[in-house]
Structure 1
Amino acid sequence: MNNSVKDLAADLENWMSLIPQELRRMPIINIAIPGSHDSFTANITSNSDISPDAEEIVKELSVLGPIFKEVIARWSKTQCYLAKDQLIRGIRYFDLRTSTKEGTDDLYIVHTLYSVPIQTCLDEINSFLDLHPKEVVIMDFQHFFGFDETLHKKFIQDISTTFGSKILPYDGKINNITLDSMAQNKYQVIIIYRIDGTTFWPSACFPNPWPNTVSIPTLIQSLNDNLKKRQKDIAFISQCVLTPDAKFILEHVLSSLEEECAKKLENYRSKWIEAQVAGECGLNIIIADFIDLSDCKYVRDVINVNQSLLKALNK
C-alpha cells in the first residue's frame, strides 16, 4: 500500500466505523469485506467427536481411534479464533455449518468434527455489536445437518431472539443497503440462511461459488473467472481457500491444513487481493482459512482494497 494513503485497516476492531464517510454511503455490495471460512472451528481437537458432515470414509475409519482422530483434527480445523477474537481482528463475515448432536439439544458448529455450540458464538457476536454500534456482521448459515422443519423454525427463532432489532429485514434489495443506512436504522446483522422460505436473506442475494481445488493456479483462475461473471446488483463471495481431498491428505498425513494449504497459499492470496479493486462488480466479500497468519495480513489487505474506491472518487 502507498504510504501516502491512509491505512483503512489501522484499527481492525473498528474499521467499518472509521472508514471515510464516502465509503459508508456506498452500497455494501461494493465494499471489500474480509470473512473467515468455516468460521468457528477453533475448538476442534483430537478429542472432538466425528460430526454428521464427515465423509463416509472418515466415519468408517474413526474406529482406528485417537491417532486417526488427531490426523482428522489437523485437517478439519480452519481457524485459530472463535467469534469475539475474529471480530476484534476485523472479520465481518462468518461462514457456518450447523448440526445437531446426539445427547444434547444444543446446536453445534461442525467441520468433520464437532467444534463449539453455535449459541456461544452468537452471544459473542451480539456482545461485540452492543459495544460497536456502527460495525456490521454478516452471518452465512450455509449447511445444516440433522435439521427438520421444526428445528429450522426453532433455530430461526433463536437467531431472532439473540439479535432482535439488530437484524436487517429481507426486502430483496441488497444493492440499496449501505453502512450508513444500517447505522441510521440501528441494524447491525445480515443473516443469510440458505434454506428456501425463511424471512432471512436467501442464497440468490449472496452467490458463493466454490473453487473446490488444491491447485493454487486453478484457484486463482477460478477466482478471476467468477469475479468477471458477478452481477452488479447483488453481493458476491470469493472463496480464497484450497480444498484438499482424501488423496491429498493421505499424501501429507503428518502435516495439516494450515501448513500444506493456508501457509502455502498465503503469498499468492496477498498478491491476488492487492491486485483487486472494490466497487461495482469488484471484490466484495472474501473468505479465507487461518485469518491470523502474518498478524492478520489477509484482513488488512482486504480492507485496504477499499482504497480503490477513494481513488476513483478523487479522480
Structure 2
Amino acid sequence: MSGFLGKIGTLFYIFALIHLINCAPSDQHYGSELQDLADDLENWMEFLPDAIKSVPINYLAIPGTHDSFTSDITKDSEVSPDGEDILKQLEWLSIVKVVMANWSKTQAYDVTAQLQAGIRFFDLRVCNNTADNTLYFCHGLYSTDVQSVLNDMSSYLSEHPNEVVILDCQHFYAFTDDTHATLIGMLKNAFNTTLLPYAGSLSSWSLSSLNDNNYQVILIYRESVQTSETFLWPSSSYPTPWYNTMNSTYLLSSLDTGLSTRSNSNGYISQCVLTPGVNDILTNLLSTLKQKCAVDFESSRTAWILEQEPGANGVNVIIGDFVDLSDDVFSKSIINLNSKLLTTRNIFMRGISRIGQYINDLKRYIFPKLV
C-alpha cells in the first residue's frame, strides 16, 4: 500500500512541478522589482544581496579594463620596450609621439577613479625601464609607475574591506628572473594576507567566503616563474581569448562563441575591445583610439552587454577601453547583469516553497492518516 501511495505522491509532485513552471513569473517581470545593483559603484560588491554573494566568483559579472593603467600616457611619454622598433627610431619626431599617444592610451581613469567607478578587474602590462631601474605600466609608451598604482589600490582595499579585485599580470617587457622576483615581491608587500592562495578551481570561492576569510585579491600571473609563493594563479585559471579585430560584428560573434565553450570551474574574460592595426592607424592619423575603438563602438558594446547573462556558460569578467564613457554605463550595465542571478535564484526558491505546499496539502487532505 505504501508503495502505491508513493507512486501517487510522485505523480502529484510532477503535476505540481508542471504547475509551478506554468505559473512562475517571467524573468523580465520579476527582475523589474529588483534594486539597482550599481547604485553605489564604489561599494557595489559589499551591497550585493546575500543570494548573489553566495554565487561562485567565476559566475559573477565583473567589469574590468583593458590595458588598465595608460591614463598617464601623453605625447611626452617615452617609447617603452613593447613599442615597435621603427617607432623607437622615429620618436624624436614630435608628430610620431602625438600619434602614438593618441593610439596607445586606452583609459581616461587612473586606478582610484576606476575603483570608484566599480571596476574590479585590471589588465597589467609591465615594462622594466633599465634607465632608472623602475617598473612602469606601458602600452607602446611608458605610463604610470607600478609602485604608485599598487599603493593606491592597497589603500582603497583597506578602506573597502568587502571589495575584491582581480589583477591579471598579462605581459612583461624587458624582464629577467630577477625582475619577476622584484614584481612579485612588490605585489606581496602591497596586498600581503589579502592575496587568495591558488586552489586549482575558483568555483569553490564566492564573495561571501572571500569576505569571511579576508581575501580581497586574486592574482593571475601569466608567466612560469620559479617561486615558492602560493598566491599566483596560472593562465589556465582565467582564459582570456583575444580576437585581434576592428570588425565589431566579428568581435561580438566571437565573444558569444567563446562563452558557449567556457569552463565552469575557471574564470573567463570577455575582451570586448577592438584592436587597431597599423593600417587602421595610418588611415586615421588625425583620429584616436578613443574615437575609433570606444566612442564609435559604445552603442554596440553596451547592447551586447545587456544581452548577456552571468552564471554557467555566461559572462564573468568583461573588459573594455575608455570605461568612463556615458557616466560609467559600462560598469553599471555589467554589474546589473547580476540581478539575473538573483531572479533565477528567487524563482527557484519560490518553486521549492510551492512544491512543499503541494506536498503538505497532499498529506493533509488526501492522506490525512499519514500526517
| TM-score range normalised by the length of the shorter chain | over 0.9
1:77 to 93, 98, 105: 105
- 4+ residue runs over 2 A deviation: 1-5, 55-63
Q: Which residue of 1 aligns with 2:158?
A: 130
Q: CA deviation at 1:249?
A: 0.4
Does residue 134 of structure 2 align to residue 102 of structure 1?
no
Distance 2:33 2:345 in 1: 17
Does residue 48 of structure 2 align to residue 11 of structure 1?
no
1:150 to 174, 178, 197: 178
Q: CA deviation at 1:105?
A: 2.1
Q: SS state of the match for residue 204, structure 1?
A: helix
Q: SS state of the match for residue 242, structure 1?
A: coil
Where structure 2 has 5 or more consecutive residues not aligned to the other structure, the ranges are: 1-27, 348-371
Does residue 265 of structure 2 align to residue 230 of structure 1?
no
Q: CA deviation at 1:67?
A: 1.2
Q: SS state of the match for residue 138, structure 1?
A: strand
Distance 2:283 2:67 in 1: 23
Q: CA deviation at 1:59?
A: 2.4
2:167 to 139, 148, 160: 139
- TM-score in terms of structure 2 length: 0.83
Cα shift readout 1:252-273 (whole Å, capped 9, x = no counterpart):
0000000111011100011101
The answer (yes or no) to whether the contact 2:87–2:96 under 8 Å persists in 1 is no
Q: SS state of the match for residue 94, structure 1?
A: strand
Does residue 62 of structure 2 align to residue 25 of structure 1?
no
Aligned counterparts, 1:207-218, within 5 A: 207-218=239-250
Distance 2:249 2:90 in 1: 32
Q: SS state of the match for residue 17, structure 1?
A: coil
Does residue 319 of structure 2 align to residue 287 of structure 1?
yes
Distance 2:315 2:77 in 1: 36
2:65 to 36, 39, 63: 36
The answer (yes or no) to whether the contact 2:128–2:179 under 8 Å persists in 1 is no
Q: CA deviation at 1:34?
A: 0.1
What amino acid is the match of 1:305?
L
Distance 1:244 1:56 in 2: 18
Q: CA deviation at 1:57?
A: 3.2
What amino acid is the match of 1:262?
A
Deviates more, 1:224-233 or 1:34-43: 224-233
Deviates more, 1:51-60 or 1:103-112: 51-60
Q: CA deviation at 1:3?
A: 5.2
Distance 2:127 2:342 in 1: 42
Q: SS state of the match for residue 233, structure 2?
A: coil
Deviates more, 1:235-244 or 1:189-198: 189-198
2:197 to 157, 163, 169: 169
Cα shift readout 1:192-230 (whole Å, capped 9, x = no counterpart):
010124530000000000011001111111111111111
Q: SS state of the match for residue 224, structure 1?
A: helix
When the two structures are aligned, how many residues end up with a matched partner? 314
- TM-score in terms of structure 1 length: 0.97
Distance 1:195 1:54 in 2: 20
What amino acid is the match of 1:182?
L
Where structure 1 has 5 or more consecutive residues not aligned to the other structure, the ranges are: none
Q: SS state of the match for residue 174, structure 1?
A: coil
Cα shift readout 1:170-190 (whole Å, capped 9, x = no counterpart):
121211111111111111011
1:255 to 259, 271, 287: 287
Does residue 87 of structure 2 align to residue 58 of structure 1?
yes
Distance 2:76 2:309 in 1: 43
Cα shift readout 1:94-114 (whole Å, capped 9, x = no counterpart):
001001113212100000000
Rg (Cα) greater in structure? 2
Q: SS state of the match for residue 188, structure 2?
A: helix
Q: SS state of the match for residue 171, structure 2?
A: strand
Q: Which residue of 1 aligns with 2:276?
A: 244
Distance 2:86 2:332 in 1: 38
Q: Which residue of 1 aligns with 2:140?
A: 112
1:309 to 341, 347, 353: 341
The answer (yes or no) to whether the contact 2:112–2:156 under 8 Å persists in 1 is yes
Deviates more, 1:178-187 or 1:2-11: 2-11
Cα shift readout 1:27-79 (whole Å, capped 9, x = no counterpart):
0000000000000100000000001111233223324x111101110100000
Does residue 120 of structure 2 align to residue 92 of structure 1?
yes
Deviates more, 1:120-129 or 1:49-58: 49-58
